[in-house]
Structure 1
Amino acid sequence: MKIAYLVNQYPKVSHSFIRREIAAIEDSGLSVSRFSIRSCESELVDPEDKLELQKTQIVLGVGVLGLLFNLLRVAINSPILWLRGLFLALKIGKASNRGVFYHLIYLAEACILLNWLRKSDITHLHAHFGTNSTTVAMLCQAIGGPPYSFTVHGPEEFDQPISLSLTEKINRAAFVVTISDFSRGQLYRWCNHQQWKKIHVVRCGVDNYFLNSPTTAITSEPNLVCVGRLCEQKGQLLLLEAVKQLASEGLQCNLTLVGDGSLRPEIEALIAEYRLEQHIKITGWASGAEVQKYIMNSRAFILASFAEGLPVVIMEALALERPVVSTYIAGIPELVKPGVNGWLVPSGSVTALAEAIHQVLQFSPDKLEQMGKAGHDSVKQMHDVVQEASKLINLFRDGQKSLEVQHRQQLNQ
């Protein structure tokens, strides 16, 4: 059995959990080929991501001529299968916000992928995210490629289920993986109950780099950290308001925003407007080692998101024995337990966020360390990447056995 992974952008700064998952699968003895629709090489800062890029084939790296050539080659060599893929592309393209034209491009990408998968003798294709990558995987299967599965993270899949043809993707998949009980329930909404048995929870995981990393004691310094892409849905704008409120009350708070993104200019402007230059700094993208240092230099980790799946960085912070302040959304309450390993506040509430931060700043280091240790235990139990990858490997193997049975039945007919 040979597995291939397909992601829209891989490796990527925010996709270290996929890299860990692949590594755990390979450590089990399975072969994994990496494919990405497009490259984001210019953003990479982590040495491990740069090494992973060397193992990854980029579909759009073939250029426009390569897309057209492979599209025509499949059409000539396998006209019936190609037409089946074309009809599927037209069907889902008409329902999509992106339209038919983009789905014809996805079909061309599927033709390229089909050739690469055949050359590598791939028996199963797994995509991460139920968006463009799974569209290409589904089209690839339609034109003669291997069975596919995909991991749904949310929230985009649940925001646009019809436009993304989520039901069609579930129906055609060998199985579907999702990262939390919450997201499994959301998927149940968009498929017939007869499909529910193919939907499985495999949680994102952290490895020994976080689970067994030596931690440092929490100090009395009022340091807080937020790691994530600088964008509206991560809630950094609300976090700035909360820090402003605390500063006006005379509380010292040092917040480090680790990450970058489209909202950075606006965040920098608001920091200046609120006169928080002495309270807040932005680091830009950081390597895994740097992220770990920022987290361990803090009293607590904060993520004020109002649109998420279940952020891996929360797992990383808890694994490093730092309590977490986050919001009551999606899968986050499955991991962050108020009063045990962190705080949860209603998303969008600056007042509640400021109150939670106030408690973090007032709690003793001993109390915060107790909460951090409880968080580490929760992550080790629920989000060990080796444990979670083993569940995925079993699904791959069960799928392979089913194919072999079907093949034997066809031979005996």
Structure 2
Amino acid sequence: MRVAYLTNYYPKISHTFIRREILALEGQGVEVMRFSLRGWDAELVDPIDQSELEKTQYTLKDGVAPLLLNMLRCMVKRPGPFWKAVKTALAMSRNGVRPWPYHLIYVGHACRICRWMEGKGVTHLHAHFGTNPAEIALLIHILGGPKYSFTIHGMDEADNGGRLAFDRKVGGAAFVATISSYTRSQLMRHVPPDVWPRLKVIRCGLPAGAFEEATTEPSKSPVFLCIARLSAEKGHMLLLESFADVLKNNPDAKLVFAGDGDLRPLIEARIEALGIAHAVRITGWISSDQVRAEIQGSHVLVQPSFIEGLPVVMMEAMAQERAVISTYVAGIPELVQPGKTGWLVPAGDSDELANAMEASITTPHATLIKMGRAGRKLAQERHNIETEVARLSTNFAETC
């Protein structure tokens, strides 16, 4: 079986879950071609990501001109499918997130990828995210390409669900992977019940080795770790307010932000304004090994997200036997169980977040260890990449 993967940006530091999925598929004997719109100039810190870059073909790497040339070529060779694709793209632009010229460009991406796949024996196309990659996958299918599927993750799809033409995208798909039951339920709001059976819960996962590695005990001093892109929806600014309160009674507490992003200047300014620079560290983008080291140096993971799908970093922390503090958002309660594997608080409530952080400090060390072990067991049961990819591969094979 040979499948093609389509993403908007690949490889990407915050999208290691896509890379793991592709490599796990290849480990199970599936050949995978990689297509992406962007990502050839990404600053990468992980050697595996750098290797993936060399395996990926980019539709925009040499500008828009090749897209236009491929559109002309397709219009001449396949006029019927071409004009059907154009009509479909324009229909999806109505009330869309982006205006109609973008959707015509998506036709260009589809035409170019179709040409790349000619004669390659691709049996299935899978896209990640229900935004423009899913639209391009649909257009490729209309142009004569293989059957397709796509994975939705939650944030962009939830923000813009009514403007992403899910009725067309799901209606044309062989199946749709959703990363949690909650995510599946949100997609069910936007598509008719007769296509609900196509919506499959196929979770993101970690390789078996992640659960077999030796773990360390939680730090006996309070070290809160937050692993996320520095962006508004991740709740970093709220976390700073809560941590400043916690610090008043726990002067030895530390907070680590592992990641980088557009919000960094604002976060740094707020750290200075709160007078907590001595207790807060921002790592910037770091490799997978460095992430693991930060987890091992922490006593809990804290992810105060406002909107999410289901953060893979929670699985990574649980694999290292760390309890998690997070919010009652999306698929998070499917993994973080209050009193068993961590703490959950209402999103946006700095007082409740501070209370949970205080509770993690006063919880006996032996109890933190017990919670960490329970989290590892749950994550291993639900988020083993080999199991989840086998489900994905089975669905691929059933469409061939």
Superposition TM-score, scaled by structure 1 size: 0.95
The residue number in structure 2 matching 1:409 is none
Q: Which residue of 1 aligns with 2:345?
A: 345
Cross-structure match for 1:145: 145
> 1:249-260 residue pairs with structure 2 within 5 A?
249-260=249-260
Partners of 1:208 and 1:146 in 2: CA distance: 31
In structure 2, distance between residues paired with 1:227 and 1:66? 38
Q: 1:237-278 CA deviation, whole Å, 9 max, x = no partner?
A: 000000111123354310110000010000000000001111
Which residue matches 2:280?
280
Say whether 1:222 aligns with 2:219.
no
Query: Could you tell me how far apart the structure 1 residues matched to 2:167 and 2:153 are?
Result: 15
Query: What CA distance in whole angstroms lies between the structure 2 residues aligned with 1:321 and 1:83?
Result: 54
- Matching residue of 1:88: 88
Per-residue CA deviation, residues 178-202 of structure 1 (Å, 9 max, x unaligned), is 0111111111111111101111000
Equivalence for 1:59: 59
CA distance 1:28–1:250, shift in 2 (3 Å): closer
Q: Does 1:166 align with 2:153?
A: no
Deviation of 1:28 after TM superposition, in Å, equals 1.2
Provide the residue aligned with 1:383 in structure 2: 383
Aligned to 1:408: none
Q: Secondary structure at the match of 1:284?
A: coil
Q: Aligned equivalents of 1:370 and 1:41: distance in 2?
A: 44
Aligned to 1:120: 120
CA deviation digits over 1:326-367, x for unaligned, max 9? Answer: 000100000000000100000000001000110111222221
Query: Where does residue 203 of structure 2 map in the other structure?
Result: 203
- Contiguous gaps of at least 5 residues in structure 1: 401-413
SS at match of 1:63: coil
SS at match of 2:162: coil
Q: How does 1:286-301 map to 2 (within 5 A)?
A: 286-301=286-301
> Which amino acid letter does the alignment assign opposite residue 357 of structure 2?
I
Letter aligned with residue 105 of structure 2: I
Partner of 2:3: 3
How many angstroms apart in 2 are the aligned matches of 1:96 and 1:189? 17
Return the alpha-carbon distance in structure 1 between the equivalents of residues 236 and 256 of structure 2: 11
RMSD: 1.1
Give the equivalent residue in structure 1 for 2:97: 97
Match of 2:19 in 1: 19
Cα distance change, pair 24–259 in 1 and its aligned pair in 2 (3 A): same
Deviations 1:174-225, CA, capped at 9 Å, x for gaps: 1111011111111111111110111100000011342112111223121111
Aligned to 2:358: 358
Tell me whether 1:108 sits opposite 2:108 in the alignment: yes
CA contact (8 A) 1:224 1:300 kept: yes
1:30 corresponds in structure 2 to 30
Deviations 1:6-29 (A, max 9, x none): 011111101111111111111111
Contact conserved, 1:181 with 1:201, CA < 8 A, in 2? yes
Mapped partners of 1:166, 1:41: distance in 2? 31
Alpha-carbon distance in 1 for matches of 2:328, 2:89: 37
1:230-269 aligned within 5 A: 230-269=230-269
One-letter identity of the residue aligned with 2:107? L
Please give the alpha-carbon distance, in whole angstroms, between the structure 1 residues aligned to 2:21 and 2:170: 22
Assess if the C-alpha contact under 8 Å between 2:208 and 2:386 holds in 1. Answer: no
Separation in 1, partners of 2:78, 2:95: 26
CA distance in 1, matches of 2:393, 2:330: 26
For 1:219 and 1:274, the matched residues in 2 are separated by 25
Shift of 1:376: 0.4
SS at match of 1:389: helix
Show the counterpart of 1:411: none
Q: Which residue of 1 aligns with 2:271?
A: 271
Q: Does structure 2 retain, via aligned residues, the 8 Å contact 1:220–1:364? A: no
Q: Is the 8 A contact 1:224 1:298 kept in 2?
A: yes
Following superposition, the deviation at residue 41 of structure 1 comes to 3.5
Amino acid at match of 1:150: F
Q: Secondary structure at the match of 2:6?
A: strand
Instruction: Give distance in 1, aligned partners of 2:370 and 2:40.
Output: 39
Q: Give the equivalent residue in structure 2 for 1:374.
A: 374
* Equivalent-residue separation in structure 2 for 1:115 and 1:11 (angstroms): 22
Give me the whole-angstrom Cα distance separating, in 1, the residues matched to 2:234 and 2:35: 28
**Contact 2:40–2:61 at 8 Å: present in 1 too?**
no
The 2-side partners of 1:64 and 1:219 are apart by 52
Answer yes or no: is 1:190 the counterpart of 2:190.
yes
SS in 2 for 1:127: strand
User: Is 60-69 or 383-392 further displaced after alignment?
Assistant: 60-69
Question: Aligned pairs, how many?
Answer: 400
SS of equivalent to 1:3 = strand
The answer to whether 1:321 aligns with 2:321 is yes
Whether contact under 8 Å (2:106, 2:135) holds in the other structure is yes
Structure 2 equivalent of residue 403 of structure 1: none
1-structure distance, mates of 2:155, 2:224: 26
| Alpha-carbon shift at residue 284 of structure 1 (Å) | 0.3
User: Contact 1:153 / 1:183 at 8 angstroms: preserved in 2?
Assistant: yes
Q: Is the 8 A contact 2:137 2:148 kept in 1?
A: yes
Q: Distance in 1 between matches of 2:194 and 2:64?
A: 41
Q: Which runs of 5+ in 2 are unaligned?
A: none
- Give, as a single letter, the amino acid of the residue that structure 2 aligns with 1:63: G
CA distance in 2, matches of 1:215, 1:377: 13
Per-residue deviation at 1:398?
1.0
* Amino-acid identity (%): 43
Q: Which amino acid aligns with 1:375?
A: G
Contact kept? 1:157, 1:166, Cα under 8 Å = no
After superposition, the Cα gap between the structure-2 partners of 1:40 and 1:262, relative to the gap in structure 1 and judged at 3 Å, is farther
Corresponding position of 1:213: 213
